[in-house]
Amino acid sequence: MSRTNADFTLQSFIERVASDDPDAVWRITDRVNLDSDVTAIAMELERLGRSPVLWFDSVGDYPFPVVCNLFADRRRYALGLDVPVQRLIADWGALGDKRVAPVMRDRGPIHDVVLTGKDVDLGRLPIMLHFECDAGRYITNGIVIAKDPDSGVRNASFHRMQVKGRDRLGTSLHSRRHLWNYMRRYEERGEDMPVSIIVGGHPTIIFGALWKGPITTDEYEVMGGMMGVPLEIAAGLTVPIEAPIHAEIVIEGRILGKAREPEGPFAEFTGYASKRSTEHVIEVSAIMHRRRALYHDIIPGISDEHTSLLAVPQEARLLRLLHTHYPNVTDVAYPKSGTCRLHAYVAVRQPAPGLARLVAAAAFGDDLSLKLVVVVDDDVDVHNDSDVLWAMATRMQADQDIDVMRNGMGAILDPSNRDGLTAKMVIDATCPAGDFPQRHTLDAAAVARARTLIEGRFGRGGL
Asked if residue 455 is part of any domain, the answer here is: no
What single DSSP character describes residue 59? B
Boundary (domain end) residue, out of 248, 276, 304: 304
178 with 245, same domain: the answer is yes
How many CB atoms are closer than 10 A to CB 4?
A: 12
Q: What is the DSSP string of 217-269?
A: S-HHHHHHHHHTSPPEEE--SSSS--EETT-SEEEEEEE-SS-------EE-T
Would residue 352 count as lying in a domain?
yes
Both 228 and 344 in one domain: the answer is no
In the predicted structure, residue 189 carries a pLDDT above the cut 60: yes
Number of Cβ atoms within 10 Å of the Cβ of 63: 12
Given a cut of 90, whether residue 324 has pLDDT beyond it is: yes
Q: Let me know: does 71 contact 46? Beta carbons within 8 Å.
A: no
88-96 and 219-227 are packed helices; what angle lies between their axes, rounded to 10 degrees?
Answer: 130
pLDDT higher than threshold 90 for residue 435: no
CA torsion sign, 244 to 249 to 253 to 256? negative
Q: For residues 53 and 413, which has the higher predicted lDDT (pLDDT)?
A: 53
Q: Please name every residue paired with 286 in a beta bridge, in sequence order, or none if there are none.
A: 116, 252
Q: Are residues 358 and 328 part of one domain?
A: yes
Q: What share of the chain is helix, strand, coil (3-state, %, to 5)?
A: 35, 25, 45
Domain that holds residue 143: 5-304
Whether residue 277 sits in one domain with residue 145: yes
Report the pLDDT value the prediction gives residue 418, as an integer from 0 to 100.
Answer: 87
Identify whether residues 367 and 380 lie together within a single domain: yes
Q: Of the given ranges (175-179, 315-319, 341-345), which has the lowest mean pLDDT?
A: 175-179
**Which pLDDT does position 457 carry in this prediction?**
80
Q: Which pLDDT does position 461 carry in this prediction?
A: 54
Q: At which of 271, 304, 337 does a domain end?
A: 304
How far is CA 198 from each of CA 59, 288, 293, 369, 393, rounded to the nearest angstrom? 21, 10, 12, 27, 46
Backbone angles phi, psi at 272, to 5 degrees: -120, 160
On whether residue 405 sits in a domain, the answer given is yes
Q: What's the whole-number mean pLDDT along residues 43-47? A: 92
Neighbours of 145 (CB within 10 A): 26
Q: Mark whether 96 and 225 lie in a shared domain.
A: yes
Identify the band that residue 441 occupies on the pLDDT scale cut at 50, 70 and 90: confident
Is pLDDT at 200 greater than 80 in this prediction? yes
Average pLDDT over residues 102-106: 96
Claim to verify: residue 352 and residue 236 sit in the same structural domain: no
Q: Where are the alpha helices (DSSP H) in 36-162?
A: 37-47, 74-81, 88-96
Rounded Cα–Cα distance for residues 266 and 161 (Å): 10
Predicted confidence band of residue 262 (pLDDT cuts 50, 70, 90): very high
Distance CA 90, CA 71 (A): 18
Does 148 have pLDDT greater than 90?
yes
CB 262 within 8 A of CB 275: no
Cβ contacts of 7 within 8 Å, gap of 6 or more: none
**Averaged pLDDT, 324-349:** 95
Pair (384, 299) in one structural domain: no
- By CB neighbour count within 10 A (0-12 exposed, 13-18 middle, 19+ buried), where does 208 fall? buried
Instruction: Please name the helix (run of DSSP H) or strand (run of DSSP E) that holds residue 197, with its range, or none.
Output: strand 193-199
Same domain, 291 and 358: no
Closest by alpha carbon to 77, among 44, 55, 109, 51?
A: 51
Selection from 140, 78, 67, 119 nearest residue 296 by Cα: 67
- Reduce the DSSP state of residue 363 to 3 states and report it: helix
Mean pLDDT of 310-319: 93
CB atoms closer than 10 angstroms to residue 420: 13
pLDDT-derived band at 354, boundaries 50, 70, 90: very high
Whether residue 390 is found in the same domain as residue 259: no
Residues 239 and 271 placed together within one structural domain of the fold: yes
Residue 105 falls inside a structural domain:
yes
Q: How confident is the model at residue 175 (pLDDT cuts 50, 70, 90)?
A: low
In this prediction, residue 270 has a pLDDT band, given cuts at 50, 70 and 90, of confident
Position 228 scores a pLDDT of 92
> What pLDDT was estimated at residue 460?
63
Can you give the CATH number for the domain in which 390 is found?
3.40.1670.10
- Average pLDDT over the chain, rounded to an integer: 93
Strands 66-68, 295-296: pairing kind: parallel
The total of structural domains in the chain comes to 2
Q: Mean pLDDT throughout 231-244?
A: 97
Residues 285 and 423 in one domain: no
> Does residue 165 carry a pLDDT above 80?
yes
pLDDT tens-digit readout, 7-42: 899 999 999 999 999 999 999 999 999 999 999 999
Taking 70 as the threshold, does the pLDDT of residue 380 lie above it?
yes
Percent of the chain at pLDDT exceeding 70: 98
456: in domain: no
> Which pLDDT belongs to residue 236?
97
Picking from 223, 274, 216, 265, the residue whose alpha carbon sits closest to that of residue 246 is: 223
Residue 382, in any domain of the structure: yes
The CATH number that applies at residue 210 is 2.30.110.10
Percent of the chain past pLDDT 90, that is, above it, reads 81
Residues 6+ apart with CB under 8 A from 386: none
Residue 437's pLDDT is: 85
- The single-letter code of the amino acid at 50 is R
456 pLDDT more than 60: yes
Give the Cα separation of 318 and 382 in Å (integer): 14
pLDDT at 181 over 70: yes
Last residue of a domain, which of 304, 328, 352? 304
Strand arrangement of the beta sheet that strand 53-56 belongs to: 25-28, 53-56, 66-68, 295-296
Domain-located, residue 148 = yes
Question: 298-312: per-residue pLDDT in tens?
Answer: 999 999 999 999 999
Mean pLDDT lowest among 417-426, 432-441, 452-461: 452-461
Residue 205 forms part of a structural domain: yes
Which among 86-90, 102-106, 351-355, 433-437 has the top mean pLDDT?
A: 102-106
